[in-house]
Copies of this chain bind each other. A is one copy, B any other.
Amino acid sequence: MKNGLSKLLNPSSVVVFGASEQEGKAGNTVAKNLLGSRMRVYGINPKGGTLFGSPIYRHLEELPEVPDLAVITLPAGLTPEAVRACAGRGIEAVIVIAGGFGEVGEEGRKLEMKLKEAIAGTKTRLLGPNTLGVLVPRLRLDTIFLPPTHLKRPGPGNIAVISQSGSGVMGALDIGAFYGVGLGAFVGLGNRLDIDENELLEYFAEDPHIAAIGLYLESFADAEKFFNICRKVTPHKPIVLVKAGRSSAGARAVALHTGSLAGSDRVTGGVLKQAGVFRAYDDEELLDTVRILARGKPLSGRRVAVLTGGGGMGVMIADYVEAKENGIAATLAKFEPLTEAKLAKMAVPYASVQNPIDLTPAASNDMYDSALEILQDDPNVDVIIPCILYHAAQREQLTERLCYWGAKGRKQLIVATMGSDLTIEAMRRMEAEGVLVFPSFWRAVKAVDVLYQRAEYLRRIGMLPEMTDSKVCTEEKGRIPKPGIPLAEDEIKMFLRERGIATPDSVVLAGGRLHGEIPFSFPVVVKLRSPDVLHKTELQGVVLNITDQEMLNKVLEKMRLRFPEQDLLVEQMESGGVEIIVGLIEDSTFGLSIMCGIGGTLAELYQDVAFRKVPINRLDADGMLGELKAHALLEGFRGTKVNREGLIELLLKVSDFGEKLRGHIEQMDLNPIILQEDKAVVVDAKLIWKNKRLGTGGIEK
């Protein structure tokens, strides 16, 4: 495949440095693992000896061929020399397993530099150091140094897992393998000296054996690149990410609202949505989500049929399906009368044939099978959750039928179960047949939501095919301010106005003095005009709701006393409508990002805001609004009429404004924006340049 990782992930021959027959050594475990494959396997050890019957070579030069892959199981100190030898011999892929490099401090970092030097200028690519290695069960490619007694190996499957941490995914892989969850490929990035997640993403995006990709990352090798690759890949192949370290970023000290609402993780959340990436919060959820997406069909609806043999579990699952809190807020399918009639005909007389179906503990395996067949024909059903307990009856035959309907049925099947030995055995059987099965009611119901979100995403990008390129609103007209020179509120607004964003009529009174009449109607607002003052309200620098000339004169007099010789700003007062906040912020990971929230104070009280990476397109803007908890306010809640489309336009324009000033803006607040039936008016605006505080105003002419 194009980026040259096929030697790493699909080698024909492999050499193990440090190969040994001595139990417990990494070189023994790795060699033993690889000998089970169809690859040509060579061992190297300066001590020589034999490896399960074959001679161990002392030097790389002695090998009869140049192997595709080298696995180096030597201690850290001996590693650079071995890598140099590999590069010299033209080996294209090297895995360095040992720890003791960058992660252990200065000495280690020096050693790591030597690895880097060893491959510099060669065609050798390096995975690690400090990596758990790679695992491709289909090929029996297994370079993991932990013996299978300690870490079970999954069988073949169609998901790829890329992890920056061994411990971050080890437990889930082990228990996953225990339940029979299959794996297409695992790659441990380790210290990520050379090969990174972005290349691997591109590789697996084109790998026909892989249907979905999961990642565990604590940091991005290149966040911009990651975003662009994901945006390209997710329409074709789903990606799921655990981004660990979400709490450690901490709050910003900067005073604007956008900053106080951001926190690095909120931006991450928005950007991942923008790129169509699913998010998980631990390795168990990662494995669940990626295997749901690899196996399940995207669900255009969430009308769930629940099929049980006992009331209790059916009720709990129905609750999870329907509830908004602790649930997915989907719906229980309402069956056709014909469906209920057919169910009643084949079930025991006292079975409940309404949804959730309770076939009662007396139900035979054939009755379950019939019910599954009947449900295939109901047009009101999108997905079936059979909840099967293995405690009361012999259910082996039922498991076979579940495998059949999982593979051949027209409706998506998601099996929920719970229990020990018999249950685990049944799960393994279903896993082997690719049936979606979960040992947890909640995890089964969550799967419905994942498949629905996937369909929603595909539907949305299908509606707007331009989504996948990064073309966005490119408003060319209008000046942009000179970065670094502080701007007064009216100056910021002037730039916005030139780009087609509405602001109130206003007039600046030099030294606070009004000559003649204001050129617009009452009511008006008077504000202190100073690029030095970020928070005017706290200094009593704002007076609202001035209804006539007499009142205005009095206010101006008072303001002149309070702020002698300062400029004042008189603006027409906007009121009514819905208050919106829009902001820009430079995120430490994703760069310039845009925020939108509803409701002034309430955006903060309820933390009801959405973030995306700049630039955004129309779909992104629409997605931001849909994500707000109070989005109903934009969709005619209680008869409010607001210009939702105008707000989308405004977001695109602000994104474009930010894009043109990329690298210079620290934060910008447009707060509030008054959104009415016919317009969206920016009532207050604040801008902080990077590394600058406010000073005297200045405009590039």
Contact of A165 among B150, B245, B283, B311 (CB under 8 A): B311
**Chain A, range 412-437, C-beta contacts under 8 Å to B:** 417-423
Q: Within 8 Å CB of A151, what residues of B?
A: 391, 419
Q: Are A322 and B418 in contact (CB under 8 A)?
A: no
Q: Within 8 Å CB of A172, what residues of B?
A: 418
Q: Are B311 and A420 in contact (CB under 8 A)?
A: no
* Cβ-based interface call for A247 (8 A): yes
CA distance A391 to B283 in the complex (A): 15
| Closest chain B residue to A146, Cβ basis | B391
Q: Can you report 19 residue pairs joining A to B where beta carbons are below 8 Å apart?
A: A105-B350, A108-B350, A149-B421, A152-B420, A152-B421, A165-B312, A166-B310, A167-B310, A167-B314, A171-B423, A175-B420, A244-B312, A247-B321, A281-B442, A283-B312, A284-B440, A284-B442, A602-B602, A605-B630
Contact bitstring A304-343, B, C-beta under 8 A = 1, else 0: 0000111111111011111111110000000000000000
Contact bitstring A290-311, B, C-beta under 8 A = 1, else 0: 0000000000000000001111
Q: Are A441 and B313 in contact (CB under 8 A)?
A: no
**Chain A, range 120-151, C-beta contacts under 8 Å to B:** 146, 149-151
* Cβ-based interface call for A99 (8 A): yes
Interface window among A203-211, A399-407, A631-639, A693-701: A631-639
* Cβ-based interface call for A392 (8 A): yes
Q: Within 8 Å CB of A242, what residues of B?
A: 316
CA distance A350 to B324 in the complex (A): 47
* Cβ-based interface call for A389 (8 A): yes
CA distance A318 to B281 in the complex (A): 11
Contact of A319 among B146, B152, B175, B247 (CB under 8 A): B247
Nearest Cβ in chain B — how far from A146, in angstroms? 5
* Cβ-based interface call for A611 (8 A): no
**Chain A, range 147-198, C-beta contacts under 8 Å to B:** 149-152, 163-172, 174-175, 177-178
Contact bitstring A349-362, B, C-beta under 8 A = 1, else 0: 11000000000111
| Closest chain B residue to A439, Cβ basis | B175
CA distance A441 to B599 in the complex (A): 36
Please judge, given known A-B contacts A150-B391, A166-B312, A605-B632, whether A318 and B248 are in contact too, CB under 8 Å.
yes
Q: Are B326 and A281 in contact (CB under 8 A)?
A: yes
* Cβ-based interface call for A649 (8 A): no
- Which residue among A171, A284, A422, A605 has the maximum number of chain B CB atoms within 10 Å of its CB? A171
Q: Are A420 and B177 in contact (CB under 8 A)?
A: yes
| Closest chain B residue to A103, Cβ basis | B350
**Chain A, range 253-294, C-beta contacts under 8 Å to B:** 265, 281-284
**Chain A, range 622-668, C-beta contacts under 8 Å to B:** 629-630, 632-633, 637-638
Please judge, given known A-B contacts A391-B150, A392-B146, A417-B171, whether A265 and B323 are in contact too, CB under 8 Å.
yes
Q: Are B605 and A171 in contact (CB under 8 A)?
A: no
Q: Within 8 Å CB of A605, what residues of B?
A: 629-630, 632-633, 637
Q: Are A419 and B389 in contact (CB under 8 A)?
A: no
A265-B325, A281-B319 given. 14 additional CB < 8 A pairs?
A: A103-B350, A104-B350, A150-B422, A166-B312, A167-B310, A167-B313, A174-B418, A175-B419, A175-B423, A218-B312, A248-B319, A282-B316, A283-B312, A284-B441
CA distance A631 to B666 in the complex (A): 31
Q: Are B281 and A311 in contact (CB under 8 A)?
A: no
Q: Are B244 and A167 in contact (CB under 8 A)?
A: no
Nearest Cβ in chain B — how far from A16, in angstroms? 20
* Cβ-based interface call for A246 (8 A): yes
| Closest chain B residue to A99, Cβ basis | B361
**Chain A, range 80-133, C-beta contacts under 8 Å to B:** 99, 103-105, 108
User: Size band of the A side of the interface?
Assistant: 35 or more
Q: Are B247 and A421 in contact (CB under 8 A)?
A: no
* Cβ-based interface call for A52 (8 A): no
| Closest chain B residue to A177, Cβ basis | B420
Please judge, given known A-B contacts A281-B320, A282-B441, whether A313 and B602 are in contact too, CB under 8 Å.
no
Q: Are B169 and A312 in contact (CB under 8 A)?
A: yes
Q: Within 8 Å CB of A146, what residues of B?
A: 391-392
CA distance A350 to B101 in the complex (A): 10
* Cβ-based interface call for A601 (8 A): yes
Q: Within 8 Å CB of A630, what residues of B?
A: 602, 605-606
Contact bitstring A487-518, B, C-beta under 8 A = 1, else 0: 00000000000000000000000000000000
CA distance A419 to B148 in the complex (A): 12
The 3 closest A-B pairs by CB, nearest first: A168-B312, A171-B418, A167-B310
CA distance A608 to B442 in the complex (A): 25
Q: Within 8 Å CB of A313, what residues of B?
A: 165, 167-168, 171
Q: Are A419 and B174 in contact (CB under 8 A)?
A: yes
CA distance A570 to B24 in the complex (A): 89
* Cβ-based interface call for A390 (8 A): yes
Q: Within 8 Å CB of A361, what residues of B?
A: 99, 166-167
Nearest Cβ in chain B — how far from A316, in angstroms? 5
| Closest chain B residue to A247, Cβ basis | B322
Q: Are A167 and B281 in contact (CB under 8 A)?
A: no
Nearest Cβ in chain B — how far from A396, in angstroms? 13
Nearest Cβ in chain B — how far from A55, in angstroms? 31
* Cβ-based interface call for A216 (8 A): yes
- Which residue among A392, A419, A607 has the maximum number of chain B CB atoms within 10 Å of its CB? A419
Q: Within 8 Å CB of A442, what residues of B?
A: 281-282, 284
| Closest chain B residue to A420, Cβ basis | B178
Q: Within 8 Å CB of A108, what residues of B?
A: 350
CA distance A152 to B389 in the complex (A): 13
Q: Within 8 Å CB of A177, what residues of B?
A: 420
- Which residue among A152, A309, A311 has the maximum number of chain B CB atoms within 10 Å of its CB? A311
Q: Are A421 and B308 in contact (CB under 8 A)?
A: no
- Which residue among A265, A283, A315 has the maximum number of chain B CB atoms within 10 Å of its CB? A315
Q: Are A167 and B632 in contact (CB under 8 A)?
A: no
Please judge, given known A-B contacts A247-B322, A281-B316, A418-B175, whether A390 and B606 are in contact too, CB under 8 Å.
no
CA distance A319 to B323 in the complex (A): 26
CA distance A310 to B391 in the complex (A): 38
